Structure 1
């Protein structure tokens, strides 16, 4: 007698694999979105808020005017 090979599972194989991959993809996507929100977007918002908290546009304009950047404003 030769040893018989186990029959491969054919019925429901696609549904079983899809269920696993969809759940895994969902958690990977949520992890990537959370990393971007807290690692990139929140830091960027804080940097912009810190910059504009003490930003004086008229002072910046006067410095650029004195440096000769503008041709129309002497």
Structure 2
């Protein structure tokens, strides 16, 4: 019967060590998701809004005029 001594378990600082490792991993994944969303969704939308066919649309956009046209067309039910 050979009995070899088992190594002592780490009891102090175990939670801190666990949290440090997982915090770094979580931060890395979160930054990756944010970067992916910015370049995969944000930039194409920005390009679509500033496309070459209507470059002055938002520069010359009058929201109150658009609202009045929609109100007169009956789009809104609560605004007369």
Q: TM-score surpassing 0.5? A: yes
Q: How does 1:1-74 map to 2 (within 5 A)?
A: 2-50=3-51, 53=54
Higher deviation after alignment, 47-56 or 30-39: 47-56
Q: Structure 1 unaligned runs (5+)?
A: 57-71
Offset of residue 18 of structure 1: 0.3
Where 2:51 maps in the other structure, the secondary structure is helix
Q: Distance in 2 between matches of 1:22 and 1:8?
A: 23
Q: Structure 2 unaligned runs (5+)?
A: 58-72, 74-80
Q: Distance in 2 between matches of 1:52 and 1:31?
A: 33
Aligned CA RMSD, in angstroms, stands at: 2.4
Q: Which runs of 4+ in 1 moved over 3 A?
A: none
Offset of residue 52 of structure 1: 6.0
Number of corresponding residues = 57
More helix by share: 1
Q: Distance in 1 between matches of 2:55 and 2:35?
A: 30
